[in-house]
Each structure stands twice: as C-alpha cells, then as structure tokens.
Copies of this chain bind each other. A is one copy, B any other.
Amino acid sequence: MKLICNGLDLSDAVLTVSKALNSKTTNPVLEGIKLSASGDKLVLTATDTELTIEKTIKADVLMEGETVVTGKVFGDFVKKLEGEQVELYKPEGDKLQIRYADSNSDIQVMNAEDYPKISKNVNANYFDMKQSDFKSVVEKTVFACATDDSRPVLKGCLFEIDNDGLTVVALDGFRMSVVKKELILKTGNFKAIVPSRTLMEITRLLNKDDDVLRISVEDNALKVEVSDTVLISRLIKGDFIRYKDIMPKEFITNVRINRQMFVGSIERASVVARSEKLNVVKLEIKDGFMNVLAKSEIGTVNENIPVTVDGKDVTIAFNGRYLLDYLKTTDEEFISMNLNSPIDPCVMMPVLNTDYTYLVIPIRING
C-alpha cells in the first residue's frame, strides 16, 4: 500500500471512525483502524463488531493495499501533522511508514486479514427524516434507556414505523419516554431496537439540520450514510415491551405547571434529597398549589408553586432526577401531569404538544 493524502482530511477521518473503537477489548485488532487504499480513495474503518464506522477520503493511490494501525497511536500521530501532504507507505514487514516534510517515521501495524468482515448490505427497509428531527427524537428518549445488562432489549430505543409515522420508545423499568414524529418517506411498516450508543454516535455525525437522513434496516443491522461516512450497527434482537399496554388511559387528577418553575424547584429540592439513595421529592397538590418538599439530614426544601388543577387533590413522591430528565429535554412553557393515586404511574406531556409523553413510576412513602 502506498498513497498520498491531505493531512487534515486524514486526521478528521481518524477522529470520526475512532468513535467505534473499543478500548476495553481483549482483541488487539479491535483497537485498530483498517486502512484500505484503492482507486483514488483511502477508506478508514473502525469497529467493535457491534458498531462500525467507515470514512472515505480522497487519496493519490500509488499502490493499492490495506493494513491495520492502532487507532490511538495513529490518531495522536496524524493529529500532530501540520503539513498538507502525508505519504503512507506499507512495504513488506510490520511497519507503516508515515512521510511528511523531512521525516522518516514509522508505526507498527497489524495484519489486515485478522480484521473482522462487515457486511454493508443493509437495505430491506428504510425511512427518511430531517437530521434535526432525528436529533430531537434521540435526545428525548435515549436518557430513559436501561444501562444495566439485565434486560438487553431495554438498552436500546424501539423505532416503530407504522401508518402514523415514527414512534420512538425507551424505558428502563422506572420510567418510559415516547416520542412521535412524522417521516418524509418510508418503505413500509417495520420495527427495530437500536442500541443507545448507536443513536448517540449517529447524532454526532449530523451537522446539517435541514438535510435528510436515511436510515436503512435489514434483519439485525442498521445503516446510515452522512457525507462520506457510513455507520453500520447491529440491532438488538428480541421483543420490546408492549409499551402501549403500560400507558394508563384515564386519570383522576390533571395538573398544569410552568416548566421552568418546576425545574428550579426540583433542582433545589434535589440538593437536599440527593443524600438519600432515591432522591425522594414529595409533591402535595392542593388548593391551586404544588408543594415541593424534600428532607434529609442536610436540611429541608419546602416550596410552593402555583398550578392549575382539575380533579382530586393528590400527594405523591418521585425520584427528582427522573422528573428533571424529562423536564430538561423539552422547552415547552407548560407541562401537564396526569395522576391517579400515590402508587400509580404519572404521565407527563407538554400542554401544547402531546407527541412527547413520559411515564414515571412514583416512590411509595409513608404519610
């Protein structure tokens, strides 16, 4: 392999694909970036076998070929190159020569034959949406994914495409976030459970909010292409929770509250509440006020926020963090809270936009 490319292009490409590297692997080849030179292109690939990112840059290829370099070392090295032109040359042996200006440097390489094969053939189904819409649905759901391994399906977001458009769902057993969004185009009705890490890496690739993003799904794989970057990810196998069955349909109490006042109050309450494991914040709703109460050996926070209430008075307690997670991923002025009893789930949604629904399970308290 021998090629000449632009130093900035190379360093940018290494940074992009490095997101798929697995630094905790016991297989050294997964710490590597594969370099493949052919035609007038250099393709850089990194994978942890679950997630693969591939980027193509222009190159003056003098000799086709491929090799694998340690991602961290190669990345640090090319990041420090100021020159325009970099020559990469892999003769026989286990070194890649990196030439720039008056230098004669080399780094150790690994065997490209040991590198995992990744199929890029993913196109049975796809849907198109605006990049900004995709970012928004991810931001509003991914925080509610489970982080432990006890139920693998909960470590991803369900993407459900049906006649109503796209519904994205995440839940971790304590709360559930559901967002609906219109699509520009879809090939049919289908479902996929996408790992939360994949979703976050896709959003990092996006930089043109008005551009259309196409997400292709086939069997257990997902593919997106943005500029000259291709991201391929495994999907999570299994059946997602039947989320519609969990969502209560009827409520005894409805509370409408200014979101910013609510956030401020829960944040202050959390300062004292967070010394307890569950970050318990008690809400007492009556007489047009919500009393927000938190107590611990540190002190007490006790505030009253004016609210509009329809229905019965209710006193209920939550993990304050679970409320903030939702309240901070929307910028609506007023939030509607729908309640039944101190032990039934609460369902929140913006007053003016019911496409972003959040269910949160209360904490049982005495008194």
Contacts of A184 in B (CB 8 A): none
Query: CB distance B299 to A101 under 8 Å?
Result: no
Task: Please state the number of chain copies in the assembly.
Answer: 2
Q: Counting CB contacts under 8 A, is A123 at the interface?
A: no
Which listed residue, B77, B300, B303, B305, touches A106 by the CB 8 Å rule? B300
Q: Which residues in chain A, 96-129, are within 8 Å of chain B measured between CB atoms?
A: 96, 101-108
Q: How far is the CB of A222 from chain B (nearest CB, A)?
A: 34
Bin chain A's interface residue count.
Answer: 20 to 34
- Give the distance in Å from the alpha carbon of A104 to the alpha carbon of B302 in the complex: 5
Binds B, one of A146-154, A266-274, A311-319, A330-338: A266-274
Q: Counting CB contacts under 8 A, is A80 at the interface?
A: yes
Q: Counting CB contacts under 8 A, is A76 at the interface?
A: yes
Known: A73-B271, A103-B303. A264 touches B108 (CB 8 A): no
Contacts of A105 in B (CB 8 A): 268, 272, 299-303
Chain A: residues with CB nearer than 8 A to chain B? 70, 73, 76-77, 80-82, 95-96, 101-108, 264, 267-268, 271-272, 297-305
29 A-B pairs whose Cβ atoms sit less than 8 Å apart in the complex: A73-B271, A73-B272, A73-B298, A73-B299, A76-B271, A77-B268, A80-B267, A80-B268, A81-B268, A82-B264, A95-B299, A96-B299, A101-B303, A102-B303, A102-B304, A102-B305, A103-B301, A103-B303, A103-B304, A104-B300, A104-B303, A105-B272, A105-B299, A105-B300, A105-B302, A106-B299, A106-B300, A107-B272, A108-B297
